[in-house]
Structure 1
């Protein structure tokens, strides 16, 4: 057991310890410098597809979107959300006075 801990400790020494700041939907929107709204796809509208789309957004230290993953939502609606979110830019989030990567869950509602 001691050998496993020692090996694990050595392996972890080489990894940077960067904590992501967890950001609420409201704070993420408030810090968004550029936030184009997702389009309601004409095809989804014609098919009367409605609902919510929730995405997890990883924000780099620079404030740019690093990654977007769909948590829930119809694919016909979520595609436009992901496309729009990739163009968002944020004021960098800080942890201890230093710019830090952040994660936020954002929800969008599509209704006719």
Structure 2
């Protein structure tokens, strides 16, 4: 079809109607003559593709929001772990100071 006219010098891309018919038979048309040549209604295909892209964008936005929420939770959990470690460290330091004070008292009493 494009081999002889003006479009022949341009590279063109398209789909194979039989392959598209497997997933979107609504956009495939068949000629009414005896040849039964199949073609694709590209306007309809474009509309379906746009709706699909819109749906994917919507799902992407949802996933992106979920990822941001999960990241916030992760940061909060990491902060909680850091705070817990800091509190544990402070507890250990307090106990150590308490032991040192007790040892000092025992040394002062001459028991050590």
State the TM bucket, normalised to the shorter chain: under 0.3
Q: TM-score, normalised by structure 1?
A: 0.21
Higher helix share: 2
**What is the TM-score when the length of structure 2 is the normalising length?**
0.21
